[in-house]
């Protein structure tokens, strides 16, 4: 079944089904941001583009370059699988810092807002973020050079070249961004190279290669609103990702693809000197008054620096990914595939890995149309993660055409959608090594205790999701509205439980004594449900898009935080989650109300776009646990509604002075609002970049 949606639908989805399909042919909640949208809004960072995705909450700790997390429909930041041309970019265990990923060489971004461990494998517990790189398209090489600068010591340069030569296509782009941000010790440097290369082998096979190298430097001043004085710590990060894939159309019904992916991530964290006032070898910040959106306030000094350090880390992944699809009939297809990955963790980047694990997955998916009005996609995945118990993950997606498209009607089409499934996520190699089971196995006596108590390997973190939506096409497909209810449950989440707490949960005292300071166990869970509304319309050269998300999330189980809340003597009787939310509380940094806005105008030589991101109050923590001037909790504030809501409006524009020369400008935080996406870490004030792009060739 194909439901053409008029001018709004021109892109296929690659994350919601095994083979490329139009969003109208599936029921999954997926957002596609195409090349034109990326160009018009003028962002250099992928994270800024993701603010336009319904149901997503973006949190960056401080200015440009600060650690950035995305929470999709209430899920944790490490519940999202990120793919670059099909190659996983996540760290081992699913963690992903979005701050170093530039829009350099990116053709489009696609976000699936639900679990899809059937196809995407582990880590796709809440969603999938897929970046597709540009490919060369012109016989005459198409080259461009962009130079811009602005306030806060910001400058950005990029150069690209792409084209087609007989059976070969090529594209490369190099970019460099530097800024001082607006705080001391907050310099940020990002250098990115993105390359995509392809060759047509015969008439049926396309071979492509992907290269993305990222080098990042970031000065980390810590939470200036919490300490009043900056830390002098800094970090460098290097990410290398290489992929090589082949797709073949064996017959008019049968196609297959295989891909090899390599990723290597290195990090270096340095704190060269003790910052703040040195009191007995501990660095204290200035006296500050901390006030939350909930009205609670406290004045004092906190520990900004516990001492110097110089830490290195590295992780690497090598993977083989294969899939095939057979078109049984015009409306029915069957797909299947398998993945193999080797993950390695290094305590010394130049030495042998300290941990290596081998993971495998297999899956099948069927997609078909029934009675010309119903489209069904169903699949089942199986994953085996070394050091874990194996798990199955089912998935079902249904789209029902209540009203078929009518080209001459105001209400052009109506769709009812349903999605349900399960997902799984592996945790870090360190978590597995320090799990209760693995710690006990290190000694013969401990292994005997584990066997007698029935303690087995740590399991993967799991989740299940439900999504019911209604979509309405309006005015011959020029506009589209969607409302949806979602309900997510995440369980068997891994947390660290100290040795003295283990006996309170049925672990014998002799077993608890055998694991040192504590162990990781599958003991946490939370739920997140809510409603999502979005609209997208295009009238001539004007595009309007907006979304609103209501989220109600709560921790339902946690062994560590349920019995060890923190207390501030200033707020008698109020339990506080110091490092994590308590049972019954909302998970941190996930606003109950959020939304986005896009107004874009294109006419002849001119492009203008206004984008906005809106977030309500959210729960958070100051994280100053036992580290005020008396090593107490006087600077801990109650979690509920601690963080203020905010609005971030950005304006961008471009004007083609000549067919080969374009002037452009971008203003972020147009209202110059003070806001702190993470409590204590202010975002940037108003900042401007302006420059020119010169293009050559391209015919």
Please write the tens of the pLDDT for every residue from 54-78: 999 999 999 999 999 999 999 999 9
Please write the tens of the pLDDT for every residue from 580-634: 899 999 999 999 999 999 999 999 999 999 999 999 999 999 999 999 999 999 9
Residue 94 main-chain phi, psi, to 5 deg? 95, -10
Contact 665, 650 (CB under 8 A): no
Q: How far is CA 497 from the centre of its chain?
A: 27
DSSP three-state, residue 329: strand
Q: What would the two tokens of residue 419 be?
A: 């999605």
DSSP three-state, residue 659: coil
Q: Is 173 exposed, middle or buried (0-12, 13-18, 19+ CB in 10 A)?
A: buried
Contact 312, 351 (CB under 8 A): no
Closest alpha carbon to 40 in 671, 666, 672 = 666
Confidence bin at 15 (pLDDT 50/70/90)? low
Residue 423, number of CB atoms within 10 A of its CB? 34
Q: What is the spatial distance between Cα 128 and Cα 328, in angstroms, rounded to a whole number?
A: 28
Res 452 pLDDT > 80: no
Range with the largest mean pLDDT of 117-126, 346-355, 604-613: 604-613
Range with the largest mean pLDDT of 12-16, 421-425, 482-486: 482-486
pLDDT at 436: 79
pLDDT at 379: 92
Closest alpha carbon to 126 in 113, 136, 135 = 113
Res 2 pLDDT > 50: no
The fraction of the chain above a pLDDT of 70, given in percent, is 94
Radius of gyration, CA atoms only, the chain: 26
Res 309 pLDDT > 50: yes
Closest alpha carbon to 116 in 379, 374, 386 = 379
pLDDT at 438: 77
- Mean per-residue pLDDT for 477-500? 89
Res 175 pLDDT > 80: yes
Q: Average the pLDDT over each of 116-120, 262-266, 648-652 and give the range with the smallest value.
A: 116-120
Please write the tens of the pLDDT for every residue from 547-593: 999 999 999 988 776 557 899 999 999 999 998 899 999 999 999 99
Residue 471, number of CB atoms within 10 A of its CB? 24
Please write the tens of the pLDDT for every residue from 240-295: 999 999 999 999 999 999 999 999 999 999 999 999 999 999 999 999 999 999 99
Closest alpha carbon to 384 in 371, 393, 396 = 393
Please write the tens of the pLDDT for every residue from 320-344: 999 999 999 888 999 999 999 999 9
Average pLDDT score over the chain? 90
Contact 333, 325 (CB under 8 A): yes
Residue with tokens 């996540």: 90
pLDDT at 7: 43
Q: What is the spatial distance between Cα 103 and Cα 56, in angstroms, rounded to a whole number?
A: 18
Asked whether the CA dihedral 386, 389, 390, 394 is positive or negative, the reply is: negative
Query: Which helix (H) or strand (E) covers residue 562, if one does?
Result: helix 559-563
Q: What is the spatial distance between Cα 503 and Cα 487, in angstroms, rounded to a whole number?
A: 33
pLDDT at 1: 26
Residue 603, number of CB atoms within 10 A of its CB? 10
Contact 400, 415 (CB under 8 A): yes
Q: Average the pLDDT over each of 259-263, 354-358, 433-437 and give the range with the smallest value.
A: 433-437
pLDDT at 28: 84
Please write the tens of the pLDDT for every residue from 515-534: 777 788 888 899 999 999 99
Residue 182 falls in which region: left (phi positive, over 0), alpha (psi -120 to 50) or beta: alpha
397 vs 17, 26, 417, CA distance in Å?
10, 7, 8
Res 472 pLDDT > 50: yes
Closest alpha carbon to 127 in 532, 430, 459, 483 = 532
- Mean per-residue pLDDT for 140-150? 96
Q: Where are the beta strands (DSSP E) in 426-560?
A: 461-474, 479-498, 518-539, 542-557
Q: What is the spatial distance between Cα 536 and Cα 339, in angstroms, rounded to a whole number?
A: 36
- Mean per-residue pLDDT for 502-511? 68
Beta-bridge mates of residue 368: 332, 376
């Amino acid at each position: 079944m194909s439901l053409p949606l008029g001018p709004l639908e021109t892109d296929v989805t690659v994350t919601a089904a095994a083979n490329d399909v139009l969003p109208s042919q599936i029921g999954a909640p997926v957002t596609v941001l195409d090349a034109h949208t990326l160009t018009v809004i003028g962002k250099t960072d992928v994270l800024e583009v993701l603010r336009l995705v319904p149901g997503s909450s973006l949190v960056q700790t401080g200015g440009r370059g600060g650690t950035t997390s995305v929470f999709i429909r209430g899920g944790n930041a490490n519940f999202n699988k990120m793919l670059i041309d099909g190659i996983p970019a996540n760290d081992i265990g699913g963690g992903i810092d979005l701050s170093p990923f530039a829009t350099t060489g990116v053709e489009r971004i696609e976000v699936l807002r639900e679990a899809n461990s059937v196809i995407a494998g582990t880590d796709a517990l809440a969603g999938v973020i897929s970046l597709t790189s540009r490919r060369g398209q012109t016989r005459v090489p198409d080259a461009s050079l962009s130079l811009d600068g602005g306030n806060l010591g910001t400058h950005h340069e990029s150069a690209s070249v792409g084209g087609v030569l007989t059976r070969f296509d090529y594209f490369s782009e190099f970019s460099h961004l530097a800024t001082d941000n607006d705080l001391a010790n907050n310099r940020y440097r990002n250098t990115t190279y993105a390359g995509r290369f392809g060759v047509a082998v015969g008439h049926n096979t396309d071979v492509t290669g992907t290269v993305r190298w990222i080098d990042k430097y970031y000065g980390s001043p810590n939470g200036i609103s919490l300490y009043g004085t900056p830390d002098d710590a800094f970090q460098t990060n290097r990410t290398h990702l290489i992929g090589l894939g082949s797709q073949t159309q064996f017959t008019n019904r049968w196609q297959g693809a295989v891909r090899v992916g390599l990723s290597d991530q290195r990090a270096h964290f340095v704190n060269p000197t003790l910052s703040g006032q040195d009191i007995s070898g501990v660095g204290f910040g200035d006296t500050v008054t901390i006030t939350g959106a909930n009205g609670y306030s406290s004045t004092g000094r906190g520990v900004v620096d516990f001492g110097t350090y110089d830490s290195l880390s590295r992780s690497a992944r090598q993977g083989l990914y294969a899939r095939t699809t057979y078109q049984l009939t015009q409306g029915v297809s069957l797909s299947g595939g398998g993945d193999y990955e080797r993950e390695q963790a290094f305590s010394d980047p130049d030495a042998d890995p300290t941990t290596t694990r081998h993971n495998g997955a297999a899956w099948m998916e069927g997609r078909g149309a029934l009675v010309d009005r119903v489209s069904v996609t169903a699949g089942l995945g199986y994953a085996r993660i070394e050091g874990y118990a194996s798990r199955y993950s089912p998935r079902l997606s249904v789209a029902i055409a209540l009203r078929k498209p009518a080209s001459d009607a105001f209400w052009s089409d109506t769709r009812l959608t349903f999605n349900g499934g399960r997902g799984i996520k592996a945790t870090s190699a360190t978590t597995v090594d320090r799990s209760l089971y693995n710690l006990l196995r290190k000694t013969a006596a401990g292994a005997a205790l584990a066997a007698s108590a029935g303690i087995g390997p740590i399991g993967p973190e799991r989740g299940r999701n439900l999504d019911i939506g209604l979509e309405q096409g309006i005015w011959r497909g020029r506009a589209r509205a969607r409302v949806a209810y979602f309900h997510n449950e995440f369980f068997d989440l891994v947390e660290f439980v100290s040795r003295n707490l283990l006996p309170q949960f049925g672990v014998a005292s002799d077993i608890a004594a055998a694991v040192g300071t504590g162990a990781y166990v599958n003991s946490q869970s939370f739920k997140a449900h809510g409603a999502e509304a979005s609209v997208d319309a295009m009238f001539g050269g004007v595009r309007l898009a907006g979304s609103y998300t209501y989220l109600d999330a709560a921790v339902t189980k946690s062994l560590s935080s349920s019995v060890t809340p923190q207390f501030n003597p200033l707020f008698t009787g109020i339990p506080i989650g110091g490092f994590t939310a308590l049972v019954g509380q909302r998970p941190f940094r996930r606003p109950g109300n959020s939304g986005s806005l896009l107004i874009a105008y294109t006419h002849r030589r001119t492009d203008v776009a206004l984008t906005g991101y809106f977030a309500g109050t959210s729960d958070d923590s100051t994280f100053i646990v036992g580290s005020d001037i008396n090593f107490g909790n006087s600077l801990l504030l109650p979690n509920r509604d601690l963080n203020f809501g905010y609005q971030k409006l950005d304006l961008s524009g471009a004007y083609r002075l000549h067919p080969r020369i374009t002037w452009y400008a971008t203003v972020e935080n147009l209202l110059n609002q003070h806001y702190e996406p993470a409590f204590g870490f202010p975002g940037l004030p108003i900042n401007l970049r302006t420059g020119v792009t010169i293009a050559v060739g391209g015919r």
